[in-house]
Structure 1
Amino acid sequence: MTDAEDDLPETLSTYLRLRGLEPTGRRSRRKRRVPGDGESIPFAPGRDPHGLGDVIAVWTRQAGWDPLLAREDLILKWREVAGDETAQHTRPVGLDAGVLTVQCDSTAWAKQLRIMRTHIVTEIAQRFPDAGVQNVRFVGPDVPSWKWGPRAVPGRGPRDTYG
């Protein structure tokens, strides 16, 4: 058998052999078929059944939901991240552009947690790396304010119109 015969596709070499154009010395020998990605081979690696959690994890990774689910887990497990006592006085209220906003019961708690910010950000980054939290913003309790939104006019506000 020559190298030229090995290079021909099997269908073309069969056609030439049947037409009598090129005699071959080989008998009708079956070519071993190499299975592709879409074919199943019994007892091959990857054939074991997977658990439902593993299958869902693969689907969420393929759909690109991992960061969203990590953020949700961070909000749901805030008590574990911050600790029991801190979690009694705080609650996460928003996560936008890598900044987690946490509302505190008092301004004293907000100030204390601002001091501990690096520890909390490090804890979040270790437990939830896919959440994408880069900073934490601690705010005090909601109090009435004369400032309405980020585009408010700077100055004293409505007090300068009283007299």
Structure 2
Amino acid sequence: MARVALRAAKEQARQRGAERQQRREARRGTLRSGARRDGRDPLPLGAAVNGLITERGWETPAAVGGVMGRWPQMVGPQVAQHCEPERFDEEERSLLVRCDSTAWATQLRLLAPRLVARLNEDLGQGTVRMIKVRGPRGPEQRFGPLRAPGSRGPGDTYG
């Protein structure tokens, strides 16, 4: 009689444990990991990053960021030495490029249509619509007691 009662108690304990396990798995949204592939499996880093870029809609900014990293190969070493891309405006689809002299800014403005075509060839048609070229930044203007009245300071040079 004691053996029958013990066997019945063990069976009830097993059933309660199995029910608890099923409730836990149901809350997690998965029954078992098993040997089959599911969304929790590890991914190679490149595939995970590509999935994140696609999921968030970052394809264009990521592509343009890659171009900024390859700027010397895109425009040549001589132009890259004097002009560097600063930022990409996704709304206007324009690339802002800063040059170290006004002469290089003028030269890059003349090369802009060819450069836009080259960028769109790499990134896909219509990714970059225009290139905004900026000349060098002037030194910081300081206002103080030694300033000549009416002068514009270094802004005359870097206008």
Provide the TM-score with structure 1 as the length reference: 0.52
Distance 1:145 1:115, change over 3 A: farther
Q: Which runs of 5+ in 1 are unaligned?
A: 1-49, 147-157
Distance 1:128 1:95, change over 3 A: same
Give SS of 1:142's match. coil
Cα shift readout 1:83-102 (whole Å, capped 9, x = no counterpart):
11110011111222211111
Q: Which of 114, 124, 127 matches 1:119? A: 114
Cα shift readout 1:20-66 (whole Å, capped 9, x = no counterpart):
xxxxxxxxxxxxxxxxxxxxxxxxxxxxxx85434532342122121
Q: CA deviation at 1:128?
A: 2.0
User: Residue 141 of structure 1 corresponds to which residue in structure 2?
Assistant: 136
User: Residue 128 of structure 1 corresponds to which residue in structure 2?
Assistant: 123
User: Residue 84 of structure 1 corresponds to which residue in structure 2?
Assistant: 77
Contact 1:67 1:131 in 2 (8 A): no
Across the aligned residues of Structure 1 and Structure 2, the Cα RMSD in angstroms comes to 3.1
Percent identity reads 29
Q: Larger RCO: Structure 1 or Structure 2 (Cα < 8 Å, ≥ 6 residues apart)?
A: 1
User: Residue 32 of structure 1 corresponds to which residue in structure 2?
Assistant: none
Q: CA deviation at 1:133?
A: 1.7
Provide the TM-score with structure 2 as the length reference: 0.53
Distance 1:58 1:139, change over 3 A: same
Contact 1:70 1:130 in 2 (8 A): no
Distance in 2, matches of 1:69 and 1:75, equals 10
User: Residue 53 of structure 1 corresponds to which residue in structure 2?
Assistant: 46
Moved more, 112-121 or 64-73: 64-73
Contact 1:71 1:131 in 2 (8 A): no
Give SS of 2:136's match. coil
Instruction: Choose between structure 1 and 2: higher helix proportion.
Output: 2
User: Residue 62 of structure 1 corresponds to which residue in structure 2?
Assistant: 55
Amino acid paired to 1:114: R
Distance in 1, matches of 2:139 and 2:81, equals 23
Distance in 2, matches of 1:130 and 1:74, equals 15
Distance 1:93 1:52, change over 3 A: closer
Distance 1:89 1:68, change over 3 A: same
Aligned length: 102
Amino acid paired to 1:127: D
Distance in 2, matches of 1:130 and 1:66, equals 14
Give SS of 2:54's match. helix
Contact 1:114 1:138 in 2 (8 A): yes
Give SS of 1:93's match. strand
